[in-house]
Structure 1
């Protein structure tokens, strides 16, 4: 069984950023992801019908740390400025999923794998998959949503302090429904392809991916608000409600196909006032993610930047414990 310095469970932005920082410092890092692709909510559907982002559509920048990274991504041609004045919206040149794949280059993530239990064995941790395959690591960083982290810890030989367990269970997430609609005619949407103002009740945003510049065909993503999504447990009627509410913006007589994506943990309703949670005094167990915000966070909500900073700060904490303990 190969032994790693750090195992990271969850290959969203926090996990990818932490893995890159740790690897650059010379650590042997294992990055695990339950989905077939890395990126978490940086998700893109690429089919014969076209290309559509159905998770995060863009990100904004408020810190110098992320701005430095963005300048490098711009220079490489990975991202571009999409719209916005006070806080420019940056997006991937060919889909947010592709951007996540570029960020994870060289990490060799293990995808389509689910860790079901973790055991503490002689100061090392053994992580077991559903099929019995296992990995050994000195340290573990959890970056999936807090409810998933709690479930994994409940199934493992982990003795959490009551305060830590309470912190994790208090982090509540809301779902979001996203509909992706294909049309045989260009959609009658603004030139930049994005609408998030003066929309019908319960609709959060509409994005035309042809006008966004990532699809050769007319594909449109419709996002319902978190509150509305949380109150509608049945998926059966969601697409019909979406079409009814957005009919003033989209001509569904030209509809070719439709599909629904459900994000069960799309955004945190509550957040933690630190960029990571240290479970163990020696820094061997940490939890990070977009719901973990720095105390001076300017936006006060989950987003790409909070995930980026959380992964960066968690990696720095792990490195400080490796070097000085």
Structure 2
């Protein structure tokens, strides 16, 4: 059995960035992702002649570390400035999922591998997935949402610090409903395709992906707020309620198709005041992700940049 220096569970942005930085330092690293694709909430739905982002729509930059990476992504033509002259909003040139695929293209990675336990063997860990495959590693980084990390730890043979478990339990998450609506004609919309001002209560943002520049068809993403999503969780007529809420902005007489996407862990209601969390006394297993913020983070919320910095900082910590 091949032994890795670090196995990272979860191939969202934090996991991808951590794997990148560790691989650059010649660490034997492996990414394990339970889903069929990388990127997490960097997600894009493909249509016959178009596509639509339904997770993160854009990202902003406050840190020097992310800014340096963004300049490289711009030079490669992977991202573009979408809108915001004084405070740029960047997005992928062809969908956020394709951007995450580019970031992960040269990384050691297994998809559809749902890790079900981690057992401590003293000098190393054994990780087993639902298919019966076993992986051996000296260190482990868990980058999935805290409730999923806690569930995995509960099913594992590990000595986890009580304070670390308490910190993970503090991270509660809010869901978000996203509606994807395909139209047969252009929609009256701002030139850049983005609306998040003066919307009705419960509607967070609306995005026209044709005007955004990633779709040849008119496909619109409608994001509901966390409060609205919680209050309507489990209802059968979510898309109908979303259409009623946005009928003054969108001409549903031109509707071709519709689809509902649900993010159960869209955003953490709380955050951890450090970019990663050490789970054991020996500093061999860690938790990271977008809910783990640097102490000087002024936003106090989960976002693309917090996910990036969490992955960046845990890799730096292990390298040092």
When the two structures are superposed, what TM-score results if normalisation uses the length of structure 2?
0.98
Q: Distance in 2 between matches of 1:303 and 1:115?
A: 25
Q: Distance in 1 between matches of 2:166 and 2:242?
A: 37
Aligned ranges 1:269-288 → 2 under 5 Å: 269-288=269-288
The residue aligned with 1:71 is: 71
Moved more, 55-64 or 117-126: 117-126
Q: Distance in 1 between matches of 2:11 and 2:107?
A: 10
The residue aligned with 1:228 is: 228
Q: Is the 8 A contact 1:183 1:256 kept in 2?
A: yes
The residue aligned with 2:237 is: 237
Q: Distance in 1 between matches of 2:44 and 2:223?
A: 15
The residue aligned with 1:5 is: 5
The residue aligned with 1:19 is: 19
Shift of 1:85: 3.1
Q: Distance in 1 between matches of 2:269 and 2:105?
A: 32
Q: Is the 8 A contact 1:284 1:318 kept in 2?
A: no
The residue aligned with 1:138 is: 138
Q: Secondary structure at the match of 2:5?
A: strand
Shift of 1:235: 4.4
Aligned ranges 1:131-210 → 2 under 5 Å: 131-210=131-210
Q: Which runs of 5+ in 2 are unaligned?
A: none
Moved more, 228-237 or 298-307: 228-237
- After superposition, give the CA deviation of every residue in 1:121-180 in whole Å (9 maximum; x if it has no partner): 242111111121111111000101111000000000122222111100110110000000
Aligned ranges 1:10-159 → 2 under 5 Å: 10-159=10-159
The residue aligned with 1:323 is: none
Q: Secondary structure at the match of 2:242?
A: helix
- After superposition, give the CA deviation of every residue in 1:178-219 in whole Å (9 maximum; x if it has no partner): 000000011211110000010011000000000000000000
Q: Which runs of 5+ in 1 are unaligned?
A: 321-325
Shift of 1:87: 2.1
Q: Distance in 2 between matches of 1:92 and 1:317?
A: 29
Q: Is the 8 A contact 2:14 2:308 kept in 1?
A: yes
Q: Is the 8 A contact 2:29 2:108 kept in 1?
A: no
- After superposition, give the CA deviation of every residue in 1:267-291 in whole Å (9 maximum; x if it has no partner): 0100000111012343211111000
Q: Distance in 2 between matches of 1:109 and 1:236?
A: 37
- After superposition, give the CA deviation of every residue in 1:83-123 in whole Å (9 maximum; x if it has no partner): 11342100000000000011112103211110011111242
Shift of 1:48: 1.0
Q: Distance in 2 between matches of 1:213 and 1:231?
A: 33
Q: Distance in 2 between matches of 1:144 and 1:165?
A: 15
Q: Distance in 2 between matches of 1:27 and 1:89?
A: 33
Q: Distance in 2 between matches of 1:234 and 1:265?
A: 15
Q: Distance in 1 between matches of 2:295 and 2:312?
A: 15
Q: Distance in 2 between matches of 1:161 and 1:107?
A: 31
When the two structures are superposed, what TM-score results if normalisation uses the length of structure 1?
0.97
Q: Distance in 2 between matches of 1:122 and 1:300?
A: 37
Q: Is the 8 A contact 2:161 2:280 kept in 1?
A: no
Shift of 1:14: 0.5
- After superposition, give the CA deviation of every residue in 1:26-81 in whole Å (9 maximum; x if it has no partner): 01111011111100000011121520000000000001111111001000000000
The residue aligned with 1:252 is: 252
Deviation beyond 3 Å, 4+ runs, structure 1? none
Q: Is the 8 A contact 2:43 2:55 kept in 1?
A: yes
Q: How many residues align?
A: 320
